[in-house]
Amino acid sequence: MASPMRSLLTDLSRYVRCFHVFLAKSTEHQTMKQFVEQQLPGLLASTGSGKSAINILSVGGGAGEIDLQIISAVQANYPGVAINNEVIEPSADQILKYKERVAATSNLDNVKFTWHEETANEYESRMKAEKKSQKWDFIHMIQMLYYVKDIPEIIRYFHSLLAAQAKLLIIVVSETSGWETLWRKYGSSFPTDDLCTFVSSANIKGILDSVGLKYKVYELPSHMDITCCFTEGDNDGELLLDFLTETCEFSKTAPPELKHQVLEELRKPGCSENRNGKVIFNNSMSVIMIEP
């Protein structure tokens, strides 16, 4: 009998609900914001030197929360310099939220926003068909490489769009995280439906090494409270389990044995630690900064 399990990405509205629970339960965005505020300005020190405008390309920009932090960091480095910020994002709902966030944010007078409602693959195909090849001063791909068809090709393509002194920033889950442990062991049991691929910093470093690109890695420790996953019928817990396994309604559709094994694994030291009676998942990320 065919498995009733299906990829979470077949139901985008549920995916977004799961993602919001994930953000509420994890330190993901706080950790990223800290990196953007404290370390990114130094890493982009020469990126906009002597330029009348700085071109930023956000690949998978989501609802713009981190994008606006990045723009703020660039503005701090280059006060008054015009910024052209283009966003590739396939979710119309996320783009709408992004536009609302921009409308509610001050100090964006010198920033021009353009949104492309498409995937990274669709953007590449469209640019090639239109024979366009704009150069960018900063390109970032934050937590989105799981959702592209050919990761080495996407990295190669966007790297080819870097201007001199430019940087390509990638953020993915760290090879030391609980995600690595869970997906290395059970990923083949989850229904990706060709819509997502598990990758961690180890995979990305391997790809970059194989093509000889220079990069530096910065580790971002992050954690997530997954205690609610162990309460049968808890709504947040079910949404979080969906997100962890990329499976739509995992609790209801997974074979009982797999569900039991995944819940057991999530409690183990390779994934989580017990802190004051709470199960705290290792959500650490790696920032990979690539030179032109």
Which residues, listed in sequence order, are joined to residue 281 by a DSSP beta bridge? 224, 272
Integer Cα distance of 213 and 159 in angstroms: 9
Mean pLDDT of all residues in 189-209: 90
Q: Which residues lie across from 232 on neighbouring strands?
A: none
DSSP line for 200-248: -HHHHHHHHHHTT--EEEEEE--EEE-GGGGSTT-HHHHHHHHHHHTBT
CA–CA separation, 56 and 245 (whole Å): 32
* pLDDT given at position 49: 83
Query: Worst-scoring range by mean pLDDT, 39-48, 62-71, 72-81, 187-196?
Result: 187-196
Measuring CA to CA, how many Å separate 95 from each of 40, 192, 214, 216, 277?
24, 24, 32, 31, 39
pLDDT tens readout for residues 224-256:
999 999 999 999 999 999 999 999 999 999 999
The Cβ of residue 42 has, within 10 Å, a number of other Cβ atoms equal to 9
Tell me the per-residue pLDDT of 80-117, one tens digit each, with 9 for 90 and over: 999 999 999 998 989 999 999 999 999 999 999 999 99
* Measured distance CA(69)–CA(37) in Å, rounded: 7
- Round the average pLDDT of the chain to a whole number and report it: 94
Which CATH number covers residue 87? 3.40.50.150
Residue 245 lies in a domain: no
Max Cα–Cα distance, the chain, nearest Å = 64
3-state class (DSSP) for residue 99: helix
Task: Cite the DSSP H helix spans in 3-104.
Answer: 12-25, 28-38, 40-43, 65-77, 92-103
Confirm whether 113 is domain-assigned.
yes
pLDDT, one tens digit per residue, over 263-277 is: 999 999 999 999 999
In the beta sheet, which residues pair with residue 162?
136
Residues 123-165: tens digit of each pLDDT:
999 999 998 889 999 999 999 999 888 999 999 999 999 998 8
Residue type, 144: M
Residue ranges making up the domain that contains 38: 6-43+51-174+195-226+282-290
**pLDDT the model gives residue 247:** 96
Residue 234 lies in a domain: no
Q: Is residue 255 part of a domain?
A: no
Instruction: Count structural domains, the chain.
Output: 1
pLDDT tens digits, one per residue of 167-185 = 999 999 999 999 999 999 9
Report pLDDT for 3.
61
Task: Report yes or no on 102 lying in a domain.
Answer: yes
Residue 256 placed within a domain: no
Quote the pTM value: 0.92
Alpha-carbon Rg for the chain in angstroms: 19
pLDDT per residue as tens digits for the range 2-36: 568 999 988 988 998 999 999 999 999 999 999 99
Q: Is residue 189 part of a domain?
A: no
248 inside domain? no
Copy the structure tokens of residue 273.
């630690």
Q: Is the dihedral of CA 203, 157, 33, 75 positive or negative?
A: positive
Residue 1's pLDDT band (boundaries 50, 70, 90)?
very low
Tokens matching residue 127: 């640019």
Q: Is 28 annotated as a binding residue?
A: yes
